[in-house]
A and B are shown apart, each in its own frame.
Chain A
């Protein structure tokens, strides 16, 4: 952080808290905007549901059972559904932070107006992250509720899928925010969406156990990516098969969130303060 947004008095903790608290204004702003366009938010709820129906149930009529890592076997729909909670969290968060933040940053110049007020860069970054987190959580929780009523939540631990999905959403919101500041034109969207988000969606064990179908070297690479950990964590909680692996998932996601948020704040500063 350069000096320009640094305050004089107050301890660092109190200051950090006051910035997080002020960040709620950005969330209020986004809610105000979406009151006019609620269909955009609402329609997103259906995307994972169609995947569950189309792939989980459609293909599930043929595949029926999938072996888990510990050798237990679950119905295909029960295998896919928890992963869709994680992908819903990712997609909701990334969509908001990549497309909408890009637009506000580069075309609408919304943040220049915000920065003319007592709001600072940190507030903007945290506010956008929180809003994306809220939007993504809506999709993840909707998916969880549907899973629950379809009997696809196999363990009482499943209730923890909700906080886990919030963490996944926060991690991807921060990552999207960090990434969007590197994009220069609308043509650049292909890169994060086509080279990162889409491959993760396909190869993180959403629709099949990667250990079963992919070569070992590829599995090793995938284990370094965030969606894999999100899916592993949430599927573990849904099926009740939880071990040390889920602890690693948790730590990975927390670290991923922290690093992404740090990059996001610094990048926005670089982009907005000249």
Chain B
């Protein structure tokens, strides 16, 4: 490729990146980020935060409204075709060719990339093994399960041996077993040195897969760092979750004051952010506050998100 990397060590480089739709809605409002090669980069945020719009701009399927964006050292405005030749895209909703068989889906996709037949055949075979669909190669796509379709979409995105793989909510709507299988495959992909960009509104997914995260809310980036850093910066080590009977909760009147760094009130429970959950629970009991149930757990990205936006990730 004649294009050298303009921003050193950055596969995707965005400054002031903005997406405004024709109806005036601003989906992405001046965000800055850099995706380093060989890492898994995550966009975490609730539905409507602007994750998918950002992904679509990176994938050159949506024009940039404002700001600068470079993808693999190229400009999506003028070099969309060259960029797309080196990307793998897994969209939020599978757009497989349901009238074709599993293998034909990969063969056809290879042709869109002008991959020579012999290379395409070899990669099709390897990829079907990689996503564990080699036994279904001759089957039509339609009757496959959701997890299988998702894996086929991922195999399809890898057909051109991409420098960068973009996955938009790769496991949304899948059952736990299918999700774990998919995570395992994506982890393998990462180990092979692939660069991944993943959007998700599942904190466990972000924690499992991502080396580096940006948290998005209402079209903006509200925090950035590794999952561990984000938790350390924006939350306490542990969380004590308390449930009360309705009247008790209404009549708490500050009885919990001073027990925790911070208290979040959710509709069904209270979250007490503290360095030591067990210790805090003892203190609650010492004050003889009648609780229905209590749970001590480690802080998660969910708590980070709650702290930053005042809302839950999955509503």
Contact = CB atoms under 8 A, between A and B. Distances in A.
Interface stretch (A5-13, A142-150, A209-217): A5-13
A120 interface: yes
Contact of B100 (A6, A22, A33, A112): A33
A116 B77 contact: no
Interface string B82-101: 10110101010101111110
Interface in B14-51: 21-22
Contacts of A28: 108, 111
B78 interface: yes
Contact of A116 (B87, B99, B140): B87
B76 interface: yes
User: Chain B binding site: helix, strand, loop or mixed by DSSP?
Assistant: loop
A178 B60 CA distance: 24
B91 A112 contact: yes
B109 A117 contact: yes
A108 B142 CA distance: 11
Nearest to A8: B78
Interface string A242-274: 000000000000000000000000000000011
B84 A4 contact: no
A116 B84 contact: yes
B61 A113 contact: no
A118 B97 contact: no
A120 B96 CA distance: 18
A56 B107 CA distance: 46
Contact of A4 (B21, B80, B87, B113): B80
B59 A116 contact: yes
Interface string A1-43: 0111111100000000000001001001100110011000000
B84 A117 contact: yes
A112 B108 CA distance: 14
B21 A118 contact: no
Contact of A109 (B80, B95, B156): B95
B82 to A, nearest CB: 8
B42 to A, nearest CB: 20
Among B59, B84, B93, the one with the most A-chain Cβ atoms within 10 Å of its Cβ is B84
24 contacts: A25-B111, A25-B112, A29-B108, A32-B100, A32-B108, A108-B95, A108-B98, A109-B93, A109-B95, A113-B91, A113-B97, A113-B109, A115-B61, A116-B89, A116-B91, A117-B84, A117-B160, A118-B82, A118-B112, A118-B113, A119-B112, A273-B63, A274-B21, A274-B62
The 8 lowest CB-CB distance pairs between A and B, nearest first, are A117-B112, A116-B89, A109-B95, A113-B95, A33-B99, A118-B85, A3-B77, A118-B81
Interface of B: 21-22, 59-63, 76-82, 84-85, 87, 89, 91, 93, 95-100, 104, 107-109, 111-114, 140, 156-157, 160
